[in-house]
Amino acid sequence: MTFEAMQKKVATYLDEKRYAHVLRVVEMAEKLAERHGVSVERAKTAALLHDVAKNMPKEELRQAIEQSGRDLEVLTFHHELWHAKVGAIIARDEFGIEEECILDAIRYHTTGRAQMTSLEMVIYLADLVEEGRNFPTVEQLRQVAFDEVLENAMAIAIRHSIQFLASKSVAIYPDSFECYNEHMLKKG
């Protein structure tokens, strides 16, 4: 399937607001990939599909994960996390994406994980710093994402995420704190 064909198809899965976000993530992922020597084509594809399951009903998401037999523990965590796992399933089954590295970038875009690839970090960060985001420190993080190595931006991003989640007293998915620990242990 061409990128343009995928784009048209993705639009049918999403509401307008979410689709606009996705197009901004594609744009940001393309720039970050170029900047960091990551495959632009893979980055654009992963970005286009990262939230493809975002508008699916909770029970459909649960069913898809149960059927896949993979990442079942995510079902014991907040349903906001489910769309990333189902996104990877839809990318493969409904868009014909076979490259595991692209599917992983989709699968881990919400939580991060330890040992992320550059492609995974590009998607995680593009999602966070796309031009429509407006949290207080977004400019700063965007600058680090372009001016420094991806790991530096990822360390800031995952620390903020863990701090935010803890401040809300919500459970933190193991991949997220494994990602956090890896970055904090690397600093010394």
Binding site for ligand DGI (CB under 6 A): 51, 54, 77-78, 80-81, 84, 109-111, 127, 161, 165, 170-173, 176
173 is in the binding site of which of ligand DGI, Fe ion, none (Cβ under 5 to 8 A by kind)? ligand DGI
Judged by beta carbon, residue 22 or residue 33, the one nearer ligand DGI is 22
Min separation Cβ 147 and ligand DGI, Å: 22
Grouping H, G, I as helix, E, B as strand and the rest as coil, residue 173 is coil
Phi, psi of 43 (to 5 degrees): -65, -45
User: How far apart (Å, rounded) are the C-alpha atoms in residues 40 and 34?
Assistant: 6
Judged by beta carbon, residue 136 or residue 188, the one nearer Fe ion is 136
**Helices 100-107 & 82-95 angle (0-180, nearest 10):** 150
44 is in the binding site of which of Fe ion, ligand DGI, none (Cβ under 5 to 8 A by kind)? none
Min separation Cβ 188 and Fe ion, Å: 27
Spatial CB neighbours of 9, under 8 Å, sequence gap ≥ 6: 1, 94, 95
